[in-house]
Amino acid sequence: MSLVGTAETGERCFDKPVLTGVAGGAPSEPANVIRQVLSRPDYELDFLRTKLSIDCAIEPSTHIEMVVGKIDRFVKQARIIAGCNASETARLGAVRKLLLDAGPWNEDQPLRV
């Protein structure tokens, strides 16, 4: 199964099939997309892309690859802050810092809780 992201071309998620390899091409409605995605065995799923595909089925303006890129950058920054071979506590502290402290990683806009 391959989930299609469209941020690079500026297309919305339903301009192309969300799932490739599905008989008949793109599902016609969000409920069908969700059923098809969730019918796959867990070992075939990339949970981030699955979640974003469901988001895209509900809100077609979702750009899967753009969100994946932001999360990848967040993870990379958390690893830098935590350091090599960091403990779970240090990794959690790095994620907390990235979410709750203002800085260039979040455009000085920390998460408001």
94 CB-near residues (< 8 Å, 6+ apart)? 78, 79, 81, 82, 86
Rounded Cα distance between 79 and 88, Å, is 11
Predicted TM-score (pTM) of the model is: 0.62
| pLDDT digit string, tens, across residues 60-103 | 898 999 999 989 999 999 999 999 999 999 999 999 999 999 98
At residue 28, the pLDDT reads 56
